[in-house]
Amino acid sequence: MRIVFAGTPEFAVTALAAIVAAAPGERWQIPLVLTQPDRPSGRGMKLAPSPVKQLALAHRIEVATPLTLSLIKGGAAAAATHAQLRAAAPDVWVVAAYGLILPQAALDIARGLPDAGAGPITALNIHASLLPRWRGAAPIARALEAGDAGTGITIMQMDAGLDTGPMLLAERVAIEADDTTLSLTARVAQIGARLIVQALRASARGTLRAQPQPAEAVTYAHKLDKREAWLDWSRPAAELARRVRAFDPFPVARGQVRGMTLKLWRAHAEDNAMYPQRPGTVIAADASGVRVACGAGSLVMTELQRPGGRRLRAADFLAGMALAPGDVFGAAAPQAS
CATH number of the structural domain spanning residue 128: 3.40.50.170
Please, what is the average pLDDT of the chain? 94
Strands 92-96, 123-127: pairing is parallel
336: confidence class by pLDDT, cuts 50, 70, 90: very low
The pLDDT of 199-205, averaged and rounded, is: 94
Q: Is 85 domain-assigned?
A: yes
Secondary structure letter of residue 228 according to DSSP: G
pLDDT of residue 274: 63
Of 221, 236, 251, at which residue does a domain stop?
Answer: 221
- Examine the domain organization and report whether 36 and 176 are in the same domain: yes
- Examine the domain organization and report whether 53 and 165 are in the same domain: yes
pLDDT of residue 335: 52
Structural domain count, the chain = 2
Contact (Cβ atoms closer than 8 angstroms) between residue 192 and residue 12: no
pLDDT of residue 322: 86
Q: pTM for the full model?
A: 0.93
Q: Is 17 domain-assigned?
A: yes
- Examine the domain organization and report whether 257 and 284 are in the same domain: yes
Evaluate if residue 19 carries a pLDDT over 80.
Answer: yes
CATH number of the domain to which 257 belongs: 3.10.25.10
- Examine the domain organization and report whether 233 and 188 are in the same domain: no
pLDDT of residue 45: 80
pLDDT of residue 337: 42
Evaluate if residue 146 carries a pLDDT over 50.
Answer: yes
- Examine the domain organization and report whether 17 and 120 are in the same domain: yes
pLDDT in tens, 70-117: 999 999 999 999 999 999 999 999 999 999 999 999 999 999 999 999
273: confidence class by pLDDT, cuts 50, 70, 90: low
Q: Is 328 domain-assigned?
A: no
Question: CA-CA distance, 199 to 196, in Å (whole number)?
Answer: 5
- Examine the domain organization and report whether 203 and 275 are in the same domain: no
pLDDT of residue 334: 59
Q: What is the largest CA-CA distance in the chain?
A: 68
- Examine the domain organization and report whether 129 and 29 are in the same domain: yes
Question: Which range of residues forms the domain containing residue 51?
Answer: 2-221
Which position has the higher pLDDT, 45 or 202? 202
- Examine the domain organization and report whether 56 and 177 are in the same domain: yes
Q: Is 331 domain-assigned?
A: no
Q: Is 327 domain-assigned?
A: no
Q: Is 337 domain-assigned?
A: no
- Examine the domain organization and report whether 162 and 137 are in the same domain: yes
The pLDDT of 317-329, averaged and rounded, is: 94
pLDDT in tens, 52-74: 999 999 999 999 999 999 999 99
Contact (Cβ atoms closer than 8 angstroms) between residue 188 and residue 215: no
pLDDT of residue 333: 65
pLDDT in tens, 204-247: 888 999 999 999 999 999 999 999 999 999 999 999 999 999 99
Please, which residues have CB within 8 angstroms of residue 13's CB and are 6 or more apart in sequence?
7, 51, 52, 55
Of 221, 245, 278, at which residue does a domain stop?
Answer: 221
- Examine the domain organization and report whether 202 and 58 are in the same domain: yes
Q: Is 333 domain-assigned?
A: no
Tell me the three state secondary structure of residue 87.
helix
Please, which residues have CB within 8 angstroms of residue 214's CB and are 6 or more apart in sequence?
132
Q: Is 231 domain-assigned?
A: yes
Q: Reduced to 3 DSSP states, what percent helix, strand and coil does the chain have, rounded to the nearest 5?
A: 30, 30, 40
Of 221, 241, 257, at which residue does a domain stop?
Answer: 221
Question: CA-CA distance, 254 to 48, in Å (whole number)?
Answer: 27
Contact (Cβ atoms closer than 8 angstroms) between residue 256 and residue 155: no
pLDDT in tens, 242-271: 999 999 999 999 999 999 999 999 999 998
The pLDDT of 196-206, averaged and rounded, is: 94
- Examine the domain organization and report whether 69 and 204 are in the same domain: yes
- Examine the domain organization and report whether 136 and 246 are in the same domain: no
275: confidence class by pLDDT, cuts 50, 70, 90: low
pLDDT of residue 43: 73
